[in-house]
Structure 1
Amino acid sequence: MVVFSDRVAAGRQLAARLEYLRGEDVVVLGLPRGGVPVAFEVAEALNAPLDVIVVRKLGVPFQPELAMGAIGEGGARVLNDRVLRQIPVTEQEMRAVEERERALLNSRVASFRGTRERIALTGRTAVIVDDGIATGATARVACEVARHLGAAKVVLAVPVAPADTIRTFPEADEIVCISTPEFFGAVGAFYRDFSATGDDEVVSLLEAADQRMRRTRTDAPDFDGDVQIPLGAFALEGHLHLPEPATGVVLFAHGSGSSRHSPRNRFVAEVLQQAGLGTLLLDLLTPDEELDRANVFDIELLAHRLAAATRWLKSRPDAASCRIGYFGASTGAGAALWAAADEGAQISAVVSRGGRPDLAAPRLAQVQAPTLLIVGSFDHTVLELNRWAQAQLTCPNELEVVEGATHLFEEPGTLSQAASLARDWFVRHLLPGDEPT
C-alpha cells in the first residue's frame, strides 16, 4: 500500500505522472480545501496557472442529503436526471435551493480567490486535483462543471482512489492516479500527515501561484492594464498588454454584440501573450453608440476607429517600433481589413476568426498584409462568404476551416485550435526572425 508523507509529497509524485502535459495549455484546478496543496505542487511542476474549482450540491428540498444536481461558477449547473425522474421537484423549489447554494458558493469563492478573476477554461485542458477520492461524487461534478465552463479536455489527477471508482469514471477524459487499492477505507489512511487544510493556507497557495505566473509570463510585461484612447471629444476604452521588449502587437476588433471583455477574445489574447506578442483589446464604439445597432455594421466607422487606435499605439515610446497585426471577429474582421487597406497603414498581418471579410468588399484588393481567414466547418453561410472574399484578396492569404466548429467556436477544442492558428500566423509575421513569406 502506497502511503504519502503529506499532501506536498503526494503532489510532487502526482506531478511526475503528469509531466506529459508540460507545454500544453493547462489550468490546474484544486478542490478545496485538501486538494489545493496537492494541486499547487502539480501547477508549479507544469509551470501552469492554479485556481480552485468550487462545487455545491443541490439537495432535494425535503431530503437535502440526496443530490438532485450540483452547481459551479459561471452559472454552471448539472442535474441528476435519474433522481429527478423518481422525485418530482418544481421549478420554484429548484430555484430556491439553487439560490441558497449559489450564495454559499459565491461566498466560498470570494474567500478563496479574493479580487483575482476566475481563470478561463475555454478551449483548455483542465486538470482537476484532489488529495484523494472515495466515492468520487464531488470529483465527478467538478469534471462536469469544468466541461460546462468550456474545457476542451478534462483530466482527473489524484494520489489515491479505489480501483472500482477509477474504473467507472466517464466524466473525465483521462485519469491519473498513483495508488488504486482494491480495499479502501478512508483517504486519510494513505497519509502519515493528513492534518486539515485551512482557508488561509488555500488563499496563500493561490496567491503564491499567481505571483509565480506573473513572474514567468512573457518575462514580466512592463505594461498590462486598462487604457483610454483619445478620439476628439471622447475616448475609446481598451486593455493593453506589452511585453518587455515589445516587438509585435495585435489589435482586436470584436464583432457585433461583443466587447473587449469577450471571454473568447480574452482567451485568444492570452494564447498570443504566451507566444511573446503584445495585445490591445478595445471597444471601437462608446456605450451610447452601441445602442444604435446600425453602428455595429458601419464598417467604415469601425475601421476609422481602429486606425486611430493604431496611431495612438504607435505614438507610445514602448510600442513605436512594433509590427502591428489585426485580429477581427465577425463584423470586426471587415473593419480590420478595411483599415489594413489604408494607404500607408503598414499592417504586418491580419487574422479573421468567424469574420465577415465580405463587408470590406470595396477595399479587399488593396489589402497588402498577409491575411488568414479562420472559419468553422458548420458556419456554412459565413464559410461561403469567406471563400468569396478570399478570391478578391491579392495579398498572401490562407483559409483555414476548423472542423466541427460553428460561428462562435463554442464546441470543445475548436476555439483553442483557432487561437493556435492565429498565434502561428502572427508569430510568423510579427516577431523578429520570422519574416513574412
Structure 2
Amino acid sequence: MPLPPCFADRREAGVYLGRHLAGLGYGAAALGEAPLVLALPRGGVPVAFEVARLLEGRLDILLVRKIGAPGYPELALGAVVEGDAAGGGPHTVTNDDPWTRRALDSGAFDAERGRQLDEIARRQQRYRGGAPVPAMAGRTVIVVDDGVATGATMRAALEGVRGAGARTVVAAVPVASVEGQASLRTAADQVICLNVPASFGAVGAFYLDFRQTTDEEVTALLRESGCGRPA
C-alpha cells in the first residue's frame, strides 16, 4: 500500500507501520510469540498502539530521560533508560565530549541522572501504577516512536533494550532523517523507517495532525490495550 504524502495523525502512521512490520514477519503468528512493542512516550504511544494491535503484540512504554548539562538543559550529555521487571537496573548512556567529561568529574552528571530517575519513577507510577517495564530477556522487542530526527533518544532506548537481554531488537518509526536512521543501525538488529526523505526538516512536517499527546491519552491507550495500570 503506497504511503500518503503526510500521515493524517499518529494512529494512521501506526497502521501503516504495523502492516509493514507484519509483512516482514514480526506478527505473533509468524514469530510464534507475541512481540513486546515498547513506545517512547508520549508521541510514540498512539503509533505503537496500532502496531501492537496489528502484530498481536504486547504494548507497553519505555521511559527514557535526557541528562542535560548544568545550566543548559537543552544540551544533552547522555540519557538514562528505566530498568525492567527482571531486575536489571537503569541503563545510562554518556556522550564522549568535553561537556560530559567535566560534568562527570564534578558530580553534576550523577546529580542530574538522579533527578531524571526520580522523574522516571513518577512516570512509572502515573502510567503503570509503579510497575517496571516487562522483562525483555529472550524476547523480540520492537521500539516505536512517531519519528526520528537526531536519533539520540531512540538510540539510548535501543541500547537499554539490548542491555536487558532482548533476543531481537527492532527500531520502528514512520519517518526519520537520513542521519537519524543511520545512527540507529549499530544499536538495533533491524531499523524500519517507512519514509526517509532527503530533505527532512522536522518530524511534525510529515503529519497533518501533530498535536502533543497528553498523559490522559497515554493512559487511555495503555488501558485499552490491557497493559495500563495507572494509579
TM-score with structure 1 length normalisation? 0.46
Corresponding residue of 1:22: 27
> Aligned ranges for residues 298-313 of structure 1 at < 5 Å?
none
Determine the C-alpha separation between the residues in 1 that align with 2:103 and 2:224: 46
Query: % of aligned pairs identical?
Result: 43
Distance (whole Å) between structure 1 residues aligned to residue 98 and residue 128 of structure 2: 33
Offset of residue 53 of structure 1: 0.8
CA contact (8 A) 1:121 1:149 kept: yes
Q: Verify: 1:193 aligned to 2:209, yes or no.
A: yes
1:73 pairs with one of 74, 78, 82: 82
Q: 1:142 deviation in Å?
A: 1.1
Which of 5, 13, 17 does residue 16 from structure 2 map onto? 13
Please give the secondary structure, in 1, of the residue aligned with 2:174: strand
CA RMSD of aligned residues (A): 2.1
Q: 2:173 matched to 1:158?
A: yes
1:63 Cα shift? 3.8
| Contact 1:163-1:181 at 8 Å conserved across structures | yes
For residues 367-382 of structure 1, the aligned pairs below 5 Å read: none
Quote the residue 1:183 is aligned against: 199
- 1:133-176 Cα offsets, whole Å, 9 max, x none, are 11112111111121122222211101111123213422222111
Cross-structure match for 1:2: 5
Distance 1:85 1:129, change over 3 A: closer
Alignment CA distance shift 1:163-1:88 (3 Å): closer
Question: In the alignment, is residue 60 of structure 1 matched against residue 77 of structure 2?
Answer: no
Aligned in 2, Cα 1:118/1:186: closer, same or farther, shift over 3 Å? same
- In structure 2, the residue matched to 1:347 is none
1:65: Cα distance to partner? 2.8
- More displaced 10-residue stretch of structure 1: 156-165 or 145-154: 145-154
Match for 1:164: what amino acid? E
Q: Which runs of 5+ in 1 are unaligned?
A: 213-437
AA at the equivalent of 1:76: H
Count of residue pairs the alignment pairs up: 212
Distance 2:159 2:6 in 1: 29
Task: Kindly report which structure 2 residues correspond to 1:130-169, keeping only aligned pairs within 5 A, or say none.
Answer: 130-169=145-184
The CA distance in 2 between the partners of 1:201 and 1:171, in whole Å, is 29
- 8 Å contact from structure 1 (residues 68, 83) kept in 2: no
Give the superposition deviation at 1:96.
1.6
* Separation in structure 1 between the aligned mates of residue 138 and residue 99 of structure 2, nearest angstrom: 31
Do the aligned residues in 2 keep the contact of 1:10 with 1:159 (CA within 8 Å)?
A: yes
Secondary structure of residue in 2 paired with 1:189: helix
| 2:225 matches 1:209 | yes
Q: Residues 213-362 of structure 1 correspond to what in structure 2 (within 5 A)? A: none
Q: CA deviation at 1:196?
A: 1.8
Larger of the two Rg values belongs to structure? 1
Pick aligned residue for 1:114 from 122, 129, 140: 129
- Could you tell me whether the CA contact under 8 Å between 1:164 and 1:182 is conserved in 2? no
Report what 2:104 is aligned to: 89
1:203 deviates by 0.6
User: 1: CA distance between counterparts of 2:169 and 2:189?
Assistant: 5
| CA drift at 1:101 | 1.3
SS in 1 for 2:109: helix
Superimposed CA distance per residue, residues 8-50 of structure 1 (whole angstroms, 9 cap, x where no aligned partner): 1110100011111113342101111111000000001111111
| Larger mean Cα displacement after TM superposition, 29-38 or 128-137 | 128-137
CA distance, structure 1, for counterparts of residue 100 and residue 79 of structure 2: 16
Partner Cα distance (2:227, 2:77) in 1: 39
Structure 2 letter corresponding to 1:202: V
Structure with more relative contact order (C-alpha pairs < 8 Å, separation 6 or more): 2
Residue 205 (structure 1) shift:
0.8
For 2:47, which of 38, 46, 49 is the aligned residue?
38
Q: Partner of 2:45: helix, strand, or coil?
A: helix
Question: Closer, same or farther in 2 for the Cα pair 1:27/1:138, shift >3 Å?
Answer: same
1:368-407: per-residue Cα shift (whole Å, max 9, x none)?
xxxxxxxxxxxxxxxxxxxxxxxxxxxxxxxxxxxxxxxx
1:99 CA displacement: 1.4
Residue type of the partner of 1:173?
Answer: D
SS of match in other structure, 1:176: strand
Runs of at least 5 residues in structure 2 that lack an aligned partner in the other structure: 84-89
CA offset at residue 124 of structure 1?
A: 1.1
Q: How far does residue 115 in structure 1 lie from its aligned partner after superposition?
A: 5.0
